[in-house]
Amino acid sequence: VRADEAVAELFAGMYSSLLGTARLLLDDPGHAEEVVQEAFVRVRVAWWRIRDPERAGAYLRATVANLARTDVRRRALARVREPQYARAGGGTVPAAEDTAILRDEHRRVAAALRHLPGRQRECIVLRYYLDLSEAEIAATLGVTPGSVKTHTHRALAALGVRLEGLA
């Protein structure tokens, strides 16, 4: 019961930010809710192994990032390989940038974000959407803070080229 309550509390506090993160990390934002749901389920099932409940939020973020990365790879595999699988995975929801309410500037950001390599995209989303520190991003992605700094710097440079004027 304690684990259920703890996960319910995490859900109330983190679901929205994780859903936004997943949408920004995935090539197909329509899968974001599944990814976030799966992350909460895994953390609940593995709750007994989380020695420090204070870090459960960090585990959740790491799980969402890992699941999103796997989903992106899986879709890349499907695109290369098996047309019928790609069709079977349908139900694609239009990306947010395709909706009419977005300004041109936001469409360009979305397109530029999609062109970034996976790790760079993760660093940008965690830094500028979740407002995590370099140390927190490093812990989430399982890399060193130096690596986070490098990826973020390269990502900003790439975005700057595409968007012109970003420092």
**Where do contacts with another protein occur on this chain (CB under 8 A)?**
4, 7-8, 11-12, 15-17, 19-21, 23-24, 29, 33, 37, 40-46, 49, 59, 62-63, 66-67, 69-70, 73-74, 77, 80-85, 96-97, 102, 105-106, 109-110, 113, 124-125, 128-129, 131, 142, 159, 163, 165-167
In the complex, minimum distance from the CB of residue 97 to another protein, in angstroms, rounded to a whole number: 7
- Could you give the CA distance from residue 162 to residue 76 in angstroms, rounded to a whole number? 23
State which residue, 4 or 115, has the beta carbon closest to another protein.
4
Q: What is the DSSP letter of 62?
A: H
Contact assessment for residue 126 and residue 140, using Cβ atoms and an 8 Å cutoff = yes
Specify the residue for token string 């803070």.
145
Read off φ and ψ for residue 113, nearest 5 degrees. Answer: -65, -40
Tokens of 54: 């204070």
At closest approach, how far in Å is the CB of 140 from another protein? Answer: 10
